[in-house]
Amino acid sequence: MKLVAGVDIGNSTTEVAIGDVEGELKFLTSSIVKTSGVKGTLDNVAGILTALKDACGNLNKNISDLDTICINEATPVIGDVAMETITETIITESTMIGHNPDTPGGVGVGTGRTIFLDELERIHENDKVICVIPKNVDFETASKKLNEGFERNLEITGAIAQGDDGVIICNRLHKKIPVIDEVSYIDKVPMGMLAAVEVAEVGKTIKTLSNPYGLATLFNLSPEETKHIIPISRALIGNRSAVVIRTPEGDVKERVIPAGKLILFGTSEKKVSIEEGSEGIMKNLGEVWPLNDVSGESGTNVGGMIERVRQIMGELTSQNIEDIKIQDILAVDTFKPQKVQGGLAGEFALENAVALAAMVKTSKLPMENIARKLQESTGIKVVIGGVEANMAVLGALTTPGTDKPLVILDMGGGSTDSAYISKEGKVKSIHHAGAGEMVTMFINSELGLDDYNLSEDIKKYPLAKVESLFNLRYEDGTVCFFQQPLDASLFARNVVVKNDEMIPIPTKDSLEKIRLVRRDAKKKVFVTNAIRALGDTAPNGNLRSIEFVVLVGGSALDFEIPEMVSEELSHYGIVCGSGNIRGIEGPRNAVATGLVLSYYNNLRG
């Protein structure tokens, strides 16, 4: 028995296949673990050892019983976001904006000067006022004082409360006014300033304060001042309630960090502004393809991002920054929440952004270092087996019902790789930046979750709404009932259904919005890259010349990505489906299996 292990180091997982190459090749077992460290760095060795130990354990063998270990050539990929524009809006003396509390009271729009509740006694009848109610004032006292003000014919047009008493205060008033509550930073509200409060009816959103011209009308703004309040009105879109308070000077200071330009080096050199969006960037990329390197304009947002990518990879691979070359980028339009300074409760506005995934080309040195360290750790001969996509083709051909010519799409965590194998066995392959991790980044950014693990779960598992303690409704409309009551904390919440676990999503976005963000992210990354990859590997670049495509890699296990890619490729008459490596592994283990096959073929000459 001569055991050979194929090791596929991916961005997300490390996979192993073990075969007996003595006589006729027999595959014996496989394993999969989470990749340790960034793909293509020495940190990968710990994960490789764990995966090898698991696979050998399945055979009641030790790692020392292996004859050879084959590892793939791993190309690191880093994803980042370059903002189209970063605008920090600072309004002097902390002008406030609304924050969409769950329990506002009343309905309508009210304008007036801000005063403390205790000051009502000194207010004249012709003064329009908005009362500020601190948390130490209970709802009964607040409603009593407001009613006393109404009896004196005071024009109280609205109220701002620190507690969550908006509804119960409003229920006790003789006259209905809009009441904003849950204003945690109430101490920052400037007194004696002109303010506007708006509460929409249940199920609706505000119309006046989210409209720049509505604000201009209420605050008598000039055309120039109206331009400056656009970030405020945008931040309030979709809210059920809001408050805007004008400061003494009422001026706005903006600090803009320019988005900058990407400089693409390929068959020619091109400069393209981030403000042109993903379409402009990808169009220019196609004109200079194949890409040799990318740099960013210094002193700009995208320049900082590109430099950061080089520095990280330089540190991880112990190479000079000058030796780090970017061989591919994927640009996709997205949104990124940006904090609006001076908000009542940490408000955010969605800014247009361009997400960039960069594939960093390093020398073979990092892989040689990994091979050397792995050999030292195991005492087993380690060889660098071959290009990832080429190995994936060999593995994909073990899927029942496949034959040459064939195209594989290896959809992993960091990159989408494609390879075409002709009838004669000639292989043409391409690597493109952007895959599963970029989708996770989109979900995390666009939903403002700041939780990578939750974003990963939203990407992988279906969504549902808990309608009662005994049932939930899945995103496809299916209703599931339970014999035992669900946890009360899940009631009326949107959740991710992860196997038998329900994970609440801490956002006020609707189920439909979360689903839309998830599916949109997958389409932008995987469908875009599938078309790019097939166009680069198909004979003469003609997608219609391809008959069969096999999807492999971790993302091919996703519950909607294969369907999305298959639907898109059906327009070109292509038969597409997820692979089943060796008839048992599904779309996993293609590269690891290919590494063993390649070694065996070389052994047999």
Q: Over 70: is that where the pLDDT of 276 sits?
A: yes
Containing H/E element for 223? helix 223-228
Q: How many CB atoms lie within 10 A of CB 578?
A: 21
CA distances from 481 to 57, 170, 270, 465, 488 (A): 41, 38, 58, 12, 15
- Residues contacting 286, CB < 8 A, separation 6+: none
Rounded Cα distance, 353 and 300, in Å: 14
User: pLDDT digit string (tens) for 531-555?
Assistant: 999 998 988 888 888 888 999 988 9
Q: CATH code for 1-74+364-399+585-605?
A: 3.30.420.40
For the chain, domain boundaries: 1-74+364-399+585-605, 79-85+258-361, 93-251, 438-514
pLDDT band at 91 (very low <50, low <70, confident <90, very high): very low
Q: Within 13 A of 591's CA, how many CA atoms are on the CB side?
A: 30
Q: Over 50: is that where the pLDDT of 145 sits?
A: yes
Q: Give the pair of three-digit tokens for residue 147.
A: 């009613």
Mean pLDDT of 40-56: 94
Concatenating the DSSP letter of every residue in 356-405 gives EEEEEE--SHHHHHHHHHHHHHH-SEEEEEEEHHHHHHHHHTTSTT--SS
pLDDT score recorded for residue 98: 54
Nearest to 214 by CA among 232, 201, 239, 190: 232
Nearest to 98 by CA among 261, 218, 208: 208
Rounded Cα distance, 218 and 229, in Å: 13
Instruction: For 258-324, list the strands marked E by DSSP.
Output: 261-265, 269-273, 293-296
Q: Within 13 A of 491's CA, how many CA atoms are on the CB side?
A: 7
Mean pLDDT of 183-188: 75
Which of 9-23, 85-99, 329-343 has the highest mean predicted lDDT (pLDDT)? 9-23
pLDDT score recorded for residue 89: 39
Specify the pTM.
Answer: 0.74
Q: Which CATH architecture has domain 79-85+258-361?
A: Alpha-Beta Complex (3.90)
User: pLDDT digit string (tens) for 216-274?
Assistant: 899 888 888 787 777 677 777 778 888 888 766 544 455 556 778 899 999 999 999 98
User: What interhelical angle do 452-460 and 511-522 show, nearest 10?
Assistant: 80
Domain 438-514: state its class: mainly beta
10 Å CB burial of residue 489 (0-12, 13-18, 19+) is exposed
Q: Over 70: is that where the pLDDT of 78 sits?
A: no
User: pLDDT digit string (tens) for 400-421?
Assistant: 988 888 899 988 888 888 899 9
CB contact at 8 A, 474 and 496 = no
pLDDT band at 429 (very low <50, low <70, confident <90, very high): confident
Q: Give the pair of three-digit tokens for residue 139.
A: 């709802």
Q: Which fold has domain 93-251?
A: Glucose Oxidase; domain 1 (3.50.30)
